Amino acid sequence: MSDSDPSTTKRHLVGYVRVSTSDQNNEHQIDSLIKFGVDPRDIFEDKASGKNMARPGWKDCWRDIREKDILVVHSIDRLGRDLVEVVQTVKALHDRGADLKVLTMDLDTRTPTGRLIFAVVAAMAQWERELIVERTRNGLAAARARGKKGGRKPILTDEQVTEALARIQAGENAQTVAAEYGVSRQAIYKRSKNMRKEIEGG
């Protein structure tokens, strides 16, 4: 049984494009969105790294999306820094009553096949998150076994930092999670950075 043709139902298309650095251009992505049917006036763009959360184009795009709209992107990595963030973004999109079309994957969440593909992506994101947590714990254990200690006693334990980061990556508000541990979110990220340096032997 094949998917019904989603193009038979006319819905407003909103496009988003992003390149990582200012010396690149978005023309290829923009051309593919226009070819699909997105009005150039409804395409939002950024020239920023995926790790840079200060993306004004994305913020404007998100404010523009309404129920029944379709967000169109050239590739799925335009939506986030990693799979976890991509999944969070798409879930938030669905909560708003909108859908997603990814041109390079032919992923369309209006169709059963598209929803199945997204479910697989979501499962991979969950696996990725759990793998990161496991590797962090194993690395910390190895660092402690090598006697990598010293400095002033941290406010948070290694286990608390790992747990806090896992909760944040799973979609919980970073500020709320940090408040439960009696620290700022900056403190959590700083401790995480120091932990990684310790694991790497730096």
Q: Which active-site residues does the annotation give?
A: 20
Question: What value, to the nearest 5°, has the Cα angle with vertex 137 and ends 166 and 162?
Answer: 30
Alpha-carbon span 70 to 99, nearest angstrom: 5
Q: Is 37 left (phi over 0), alpha (psi -120 to 50) or beta?
A: left
Alpha-carbon span 82 to 62, nearest angstrom: 18
List of residues 6+ apart from 202 with CB closer than 8 A: none
Looking at this protein, which amino acid is placed at residue 26? Answer: N
Determine the distance from the C-alpha atom of residue 142 to the mean position of all C-alpha atoms in its chain, rounded to a whole number: 29
Helix (H) or strand (E) holding 164: helix 158-169
Give SS3 for 90. helix
Hey, which residues does 102 pair with through a beta bridge? 73, 107
The residue whose two tokens read 């990220």 is 189
Helix (H) or strand (E) holding 46: strand 43-47
